[in-house]
Amino acid sequence: MTQVNSNLWKIKLPIMLFILLLNSSAYAFGLGDLVGGGGDKGPDLTGTQTDLTGTLKQALINLSKSQALMAKAMGLDEQAILAEKNAEGLKSGDLGAKDDIEKSIETAASVQDAIAKKSAEKTVLDAESKVVFVSSIPFYIKGGIGAGMTAKKAVDAGKSLASAGPMALLKVGPLVTIVAEMPGLITKLSSATGQIMDFMTANDIPTDKMENMTKEAF
């Protein structure tokens, strides 16, 4: 596991436990006003949230574009449609809610799983499908680097979240979600990329640019 990924997981657990306690215990006992009051200013993380939602959005758009092409080349028609819809939804949205982030990441992860599984079969593509697959690589590299960049920023954001008070956390739900969800996405991308490169080798597709991307992103 990379240092970035390890740091993200260390940050995720205490934040998620705190949010769980905040949303269940405090409010279940009618203490919502006390938890949210008292002049809890905390660090201003709205700028960080805007930055990370922006970089994540662009990373997921590129990743989804690449997934649509890879899936199409591999004959995964259902996954190709899901990836295309995810890319279009991201283009028209702003990832302003945590549910949007969770849904987009979940879709990208599920398509990535299918592509990784198909890659493991090392099927030899016909000439037309190979052209389509090759066209996906630049988008995949951009998406991988973007995801890696977002993950690195999420490590620092997570440290700030860990020291923030209840009211500060409640104001940055999307940021909390990014910090919580990035470890799983990066782990999945790192593992799947290795399988994809093996698939590329089986199809005589150069992997040097993908290898460089993994060094930079994961």
108: number of CA atoms within 13 Å, CB side? 34
Considering only 38-47, 70-79, 122-131, which range has the smallest mean pLDDT? 38-47
Q: Rg for the chain (alpha carbons), in Å?
A: 19
Residues 185 and 52 sit within 8 Å (Cβ to Cβ): no
- Please report the DSSP string for 55-118 in residue order: HHHHHHHHHHHHHHHHHHHHT-HHHHHHHHHHHHHHHH----SHHHHHHHHHHHHHHHHHHHHH
Confidence of residue 41 (pLDDT cuts 50, 70, 90): low
pLDDT of residue 6: 54
201-216 residue pLDDT tens = 999 999 999 999 999 8
Q: With beta carbons less than 8 A apart as the criterion, state whether 64 and 86 touch.
A: yes
Q: Which residue has the higher pLDDT, 36 or 135?
A: 135
Average pLDDT over residues 182-195: 92
Note the pLDDT of residue 198: 97
Higher pLDDT, 147 or 4: 147
What predicted TM-score, i.e. pTM, was given to this entire model? 0.81
DSSP 8-state assignment for residue 204: T
Burial class (CB in 10 A: 0-12, 13-18, 19+), 163: exposed
Burial of 38 from C-beta contacts in 10 A (0-12 / 13-18 / 19+): exposed
Question: pLDDT tens across 12-36, in order?
Answer: 545 554 444 444 333 333 333 333 4
Tens-place pLDDT, residues 58-69 = 999 999 999 999
Closest CA to 140 of 214, 76, 205, 191: 214
Q: Average pLDDT, stretch 42-56?
A: 88
If residue 78 lies in a helix (H) or strand (E), which one and from where to where? helix 77-92
Q: How many C-beta atoms lie closer than 10 Å to residue 6's C-beta?
A: 12
Q: Which carries the bigger pLDDT value, residue 37 or residue 185?
A: 185
Percent of the chain scoring above 70 in pLDDT: 81
> How do the domains of the chain map onto residue ranges?
3-16+46-217
Q: Which of 65-69, 97-101, 104-108, 147-151 has the lowest mean pLDDT?
A: 97-101
**Helix, strand, coil percentages, rounded to 5, for the chain:** 80, 0, 20
The whole-chain average pLDDT of the chain stands at 83
Q: Is the pLDDT of residue 155 over 80?
A: yes
